Copies of this chain bind each other. A is one copy, B any other.
Amino acid sequence: MRYAYRTGLTGSLIERADQIRISDEAVAEQCRSLRARLLKLADLDPELGPDGLLCWGSMADRPDGAELLFLGLDGDAPCFAPLIEEGQTPGMQAYAVWRQLDMMPPEEASTYAAARSLIEWHRGHLFCSRCGTRSRVTKAGWGRKCPACDAEHFPRVDPVVIMLAEYEGKALVGRQPRFPPDRYSALAGFVEPGEAIEEAVARELFEEAGVRAKEVRYLASQPWPFPNSLMMACIAPVEDDALTLDIEELEAAMWVSKEEVAASLAGAPDAPFIAPPHFAIAHTLLRAWVESDADKA
């Protein structure tokens, strides 16, 4: 498939075989395959080869007490990950895994992202939200079911908008208090119930920076497994460049030119900020904006 903008953490070579995961018998048959393999994880983080590729073991490596998560088929090889329901959920700390993602080809990061998101989802959803009873893994890791009230629960995916406001040839970048020093990025926020993507972009730009969107153009999307976001990148021409920052969300923000963003993406020593890493869609968004030949604002 051709992508308009190729984002990181996409393009897994594993085909999610939904027709298998919905059948316990079909999953059991895949488990018994001599080609079956198990993703090597150190808790939630990947074990990597020197080339940034994921490491796989045999089904005999399954840790004690681990359920199996069926990731899908890589050609005729069934791919599983160990699903340890009880375990740490790391929260918003600085992740060591970011250094690993930096080395991984996007296809490998994509496979890993699905496994990580699912395992972390299970850990935060051991109990039925409808009645409070401990629920059980179903569909080879792609759901949970409550034995008391029969409610089915499916993995959560949180849509997030991430956007560049644009005004007279400049784009708006900001920094959250938790960012590493000198890092600036596109503004972002969760889509709320009852909102379109376009409305969430406009609301977040106004809430966080006090700027009013005139229109919203969607560019590209990417999964983000910390823990389970779907990032949707947009560009939004705005009415005015006067900023009113919500300092809880943004400790600083600035308008930058295409030349300045290009310098930051290139890691130039005199660049005005340190750009997000290449595997983050904010990087793709900044690059797409720099490379766009005309401002349509």
- A194: which B residues are within 8 A, CB to CB? 9, 12, 110-111, 113-118, 223, 225
- Please provide the chain A residues from 151 to 168 with a CB less than 8 Å away from any CB of chain B in the complex: 151, 153-159
B214 adjacent to A2 (CB under 8 Å)? yes
Q: Is A10 an interface residue (CB 8 A)?
A: yes
- Please provide the chain A residues from 186 to 240 with a CB less than 8 Å away from any CB of chain B in the complex: 190-199, 202-203, 207, 212-218, 220-223, 225, 228, 230, 232
- Please provide the chain A residues from 83 to 113 with a CB less than 8 Å away from any CB of chain B in the complex: 110-111, 113
**Complexed CA–CA distance, A96 and B217 (Å):** 35
Closest B residue to A227 using CB positions: B193
- A155: which B residues are within 8 A, CB to CB? 192-193
Copy number in the complex reads 2
A and B contact pairs by CB, cutoff 8 A, 17 listed? A1-B198, A2-B215, A4-B217, A10-B198, A18-B207, A114-B193, A124-B129, A126-B131, A126-B132, A127-B131, A128-B129, A142-B192, A156-B158, A157-B159, A191-B230, A195-B230, A196-B223
Closest B residue to A153 using CB positions: B129
> Number of residues in A with C-beta < 8 Å to the partner?
70
Pick the contact of A221 from B3, B197, B203, B223 — CB < 8 Å? B197
Q: Is A16 an interface residue (CB 8 A)?
A: yes
Closest B residue to A118 using CB positions: B193
Interface residues of chain A, those whose CB is within 8 Å of chain B, are 1-4, 7, 9-12, 16, 18-19, 110-111, 113-118, 121, 124-134, 142, 151, 153-159, 190-199, 202-203, 207, 212-218, 220-223, 225, 228, 230, 232, 246
**Complexed CA–CA distance, A131 and B125 (Å):** 8
Q: Chain B CB within 10 Å — which of A12, A18, A125, A202 has the most?
A: A18
Known: A127-B129, A132-B134. A228 touches B3 (CB 8 A): no
**Complexed CA–CA distance, A178 and B34 (Å):** 41
A132 adjacent to B132 (CB under 8 Å)? yes
**Complexed CA–CA distance, A1 and B230 (Å):** 24
Closest B residue to A125 using CB positions: B129
**Complexed CA–CA distance, A130 and B144 (Å):** 13
- The smallest C-beta distance from A11 to any residue of chain B, in angstroms, reads 8
Known: A117-B193, A157-B159. A133 touches B130 (CB 8 A): no
**Complexed CA–CA distance, A196 and B232 (Å):** 9
Pick the contact of A196 from B154, B217, B221 — CB < 8 Å? B221
B10 adjacent to A157 (CB under 8 Å)? no
- A118: which B residues are within 8 A, CB to CB? 193-194
B203 adjacent to A222 (CB under 8 Å)? no
**Complexed CA–CA distance, A118 and B193 (Å):** 7
- A223: which B residues are within 8 A, CB to CB? 193-196
**Complexed CA–CA distance, A249 and B30 (Å):** 24
**Complexed CA–CA distance, A104 and B223 (Å):** 35
